[in-house]
Amino acid sequence: MKRTTVKKALSLKAGEELVNLKGWVRTKRGSKHVSFIALNDGSTINNIQVVAEDAISEEVLKIIHTGASLSVVGKLVQSQGSGQAIELLAESIEVLGIADPDEYPLQPKKHSLEFLRENAHLRFRTNTFSAIFRIRHAMTFAVHSFFNSKGFSNIHTPIITGSDCEGAGEMFAVSTLDKKNTPLTEEGDIDYTQDFFGKETNLTVSGQLEAEMAALALGKVYTFGPTFRAENSNTSRHLAEFWMIEPEVAFADLEEDMDLAEEMLQYLCTYALENCTDDLDFLDKRLFEEEKNKKKEERQELGLIEKIKFVAENDFERITYTEAYDILRNSKPNKKKKFQYLIEEWGTDFQSEHERYLVEKKFKKPVIITDYPKDIKAFYMRMNDDGKTVRAMDVLFPGIGEIIGGSQREERLDVLKSRMAEMDVLEHELSWYLDSRKFGSVPHSGFGLGFERLILFVTGMGNIRDVIPFPRTPNNADF
Ligand code: 4AD
Ligand code: MG
């Protein structure tokens, strides 16, 4: 018999036809003559209630516990109880896999997120995590759908690379050299000519530089791939391995870049609202319960769904770094020395406390900051006429801080070369990149959206480790 999913079954009417449902037991309760089994197969956050009466032997019922996997054949009937319209009256149950209640870590009670992180291989089986990962899928699909509808080509940029796009030097080495007997040059450095690629290579921090090459022929491209950063920041916003969406558009200036970023984020929010209703309802209630435990002044003003709607429907604020700097310097928390890092000198980077002040207190909506001081941004950003700032933009989100970083790119060969020299980026290592400015160079722009930060926003979760299946962070590469 062909399997019916729980999602499908819940949408059907009661009938005489036999159906076969398969899934995992969430809970089992009952009396001598009737057992009620909540069965979930991941197709929806909702369980179907399996009713097992005399047709099912006691031997079978005895070995059914939370976590066991079942194949149930029966009829869909009108539910007697409240809470569901339809339930499955079992005619036969096959236990596909048992789950010993003395050993199975997930019991039908509330587990802490920390506990579930330690059991990341099993946490998919909880309501919260199944909702998160269905939404993560929906967002992946929506990203491709958005760019496809706008005529972008998806480019797969390399994961192993010889260049450091962001120039921050926070890269993971890729090497097949014998660690115990590393070949050395006469100067005593590691001799990478003997390594697999004949040169030093790392895991990429960004696909941007390669995406630019494609954009300067295909016009509009985007990458959506894993990126890696060996930065030792143990925060709720950083992963060592995360996924990034990087569009790159030929002939576009920073204004068009910001328009694209805003349109994309609003599209993704709207997509979630329209296509992830059950999961969002569940997470909305979950967040509401969490907020109740917080002090009043720390509670978020909007619920999860309200917050997503708000972003989908309202224009983002756009200000320059210098305007943001003035606002922050004259702000109450700065004057009263409430910020951990006080805003004094023009030119320093903003910390997340500053970003959150602008977004959550000052403007109460997403903010795009542009034209940052050149010294705190990457070499490839286009220099402004003032010689001090570059055409950068960061999109800041409530509860998240920076969700997007992007810029108009420096298309002028001589300016790019002098920026590279200033920032110690070696010309001979990026000769291919410079070629694009020698041959048919055009103004172009792009940005990078941190996919997990988007998922944080859309799910209302507080820790980035909970929105990627198997997180990679300092001292943590289990599973
Ligand atoms: O601002 P970033 O470093 O920009 C770039 O990599 C550019 N090459 C993008 C481009 O213009 N094509 O990173 C972009 C975004 C950040 O705004 C943030 O959302 C996310 O990537 N991000 C991280 N997410 C999780 N963990 C980390 N360690 C992250 N570092 C950056
Ligand atoms: Mg950034």
The pLDDT tens digits of the residues spanning 385-412 come to 999 999 999 999 999 999 999 999 999 9
Kindly state if the Cβ of 238 falls inside 6 Å of ligand 1.
Answer: yes
> Does pLDDT of 31 surpass 90?
no
Residue 120 binned pLDDT confidence (cut-offs 50, 70, 90): very high
Specify whether the CB–CB gap between 21 and 48 falls below 8 A: yes
3-state class of 284 per DSSP? helix
CA-nearest residue, atom 18 of ligand 1: 450
Q: Does any domain span residue 194?
A: no
Q: Which ligand is nearest to the CA of 372?
A: 2
Same domain, 99 and 229: no
453 within ligand 1 shell (Cβ under 6 A)? yes
- Judge if 56 and 149 occupy the same domain: no
Which of the listed residues 147, 163, 208, 242 should we mutate to test ligand 1's pocket, taking the one with most ligand atoms within 8 A of CB? 242
Q: How many CA atoms lie within 13 A of 255 on its CB side?
A: 0
**Which residues share a beta bridge with 327?**
none
CA distance 267 to 149: 11
Residues 266 and 330 in one domain: yes
209: left (phi over 0), alpha (psi -120 to 50) or beta: alpha
Please state the rounded mean pLDDT for residues 473-477.
96
For tokens 């009396």, name the residue.
Answer: 31
Two tokens, residue 389? 């700032």
Measured by CA distance, the residue closest to atom 15 of ligand 1 is 450
Residue 371 pLDDT more than 80?
Answer: yes
Does residue 84 register a pLDDT over 80?
no
Closest CA to 306 of 135, 457, 450: 457
Quote the CA–CA distance of 307 and 285 in Å, as a whole number.
13
The rounded distance, in Å, linking the Cα atoms of 424 and 428 is 12
Q: What is the dihedral of CA 304, 307, 312, 315, to 10 degrees?
A: -170
Taking residues 448-464, what's their average pLDDT? 98
CATH number at 347 reads: 3.30.930.10
Give the 3-state secondary structure of residue 68: coil
Q: Taking the C-alpha atoms of 402, 404, 410 and 411 in order, what is their torsion angle to the nearest 10 degrees?
A: 180
Task: Indicate whether 59 and 130 sit together in one domain.
Answer: no
**Cα atoms in the 13 Å half-sphere on the side-chain side of 9:** 36
> Which of 109, 139, 160 marks a domain boundary?
109
Strands 317-320 and 367-373, bridge-based pairing: parallel
74, containing H or E segment: strand 69-78
447 touches ligand 1 (CB under 6 Å): yes
Residue 165 sits in the same domain as residue 62: no
Q: Which ligand is nearest to the CA of 402?
A: 1
pLDDT band at 184 (very low <50, low <70, confident <90, very high): very high
150 located within any domain = yes
Count of domains in the chain?
A: 2
pTM higher than the cut 0.95: yes
Residue 17 lies in a domain: yes
Q: Say whether both 251 and 145 belong to one domain.
A: yes
Asked if 452 contacts 245 with a C-beta cutoff of 8 angstroms, the reply is: no
CATH number of 101's domain: 2.40.50.140
Domain boundary among 109, 137, 152: 109
Q: What is the DSSP letter of 462?
A: S
DSSP strands (E only) in 184-307: 201-203, 220-228, 241-250
Q: Please state, for a pLDDT cut of 70, what percent of the chain lies above it.
A: 100
* Residue 195 located in a structural domain: no
- CA-derived radius of gyration, the chain: 27
Contact status, residue 46 vs residue 62, Cβ threshold 8 Å: no
Q: Tell whether ligand 1 has an atom less than 6 A from the beta carbon of residue 229.
A: yes
Domain residue limits at 98: 6-109
Please indicate, yes or no, whether residues 105 and 224 belong to a single structural domain of this protein.
no
Residues 38 and 135 in one domain: no
Q: Does residue 471 lie in a domain region?
A: no
The answer, yes or no, to whether any atom of ligand 1 lies below 6 A from the CB of 403, is yes
Q: How confident is the model at residue 299 (pLDDT cuts 50, 70, 90)?
A: confident
Residue nearest to atom 23 of ligand 1 (CA): 450
Q: What is the largest CA-CA distance in the chain?
A: 84
pLDDT digits (tens, 9 = 90+) for 197-238: 999 999 999 999 999 999 999 999 999 999 999 998 899 999
DSSP code, position 473: B
Instruction: Answer whether residue 191 is part of any domain.
Output: no
Helix (H) or strand (E) holding 413: helix 413-422
pLDDT higher than threshold 90 for residue 300:
no
Classify residue 331: in a domain, yes or no. yes
Residues 155 and 221 in one domain: yes
Domain identity same for 63 and 15: yes
State whether 105 and 220 are in the same domain. no
Helix, strand or coil, per DSSP, at residue 105? coil
Amino acid at 248: E
Residue 151's region, left for phi above 0, alpha for psi from -120 to 50, else beta, is left
Predicted confidence band of residue 360 (pLDDT cuts 50, 70, 90): very high
pLDDT confidence tier of residue 83, bands split at 50, 70 and 90: confident
Say how far apart CA 116 and CA 169 lie, in whole Å. Answer: 33
Q: Which ligand is nearest to the CA of 391?
A: 1
Across the chain, mean pLDDT equals 96
Give the count of beta carbons closer than 10 Å to the beta carbon of residue 468: 19
Task: Determine how β-strand 173-174 pairs with β-strand 367-373.
Answer: unpaired
Instruction: Tell whether 360 is covered by a domain.
Output: yes
CB of 13 closer than 8 Å to CB of 76: yes
Torsion (CA) 316, 322, 323, 329 in degrees, nearest 10:
120
Q: How many CB atoms lie within 10 A of CB 383?
A: 18
Asked if 76 and 137 sit in the same domain, the reply is: no
Q: Is 216 in the pocket of ligand 1 (CB under 6 A)?
A: no
CA 283 to chain centre: 16
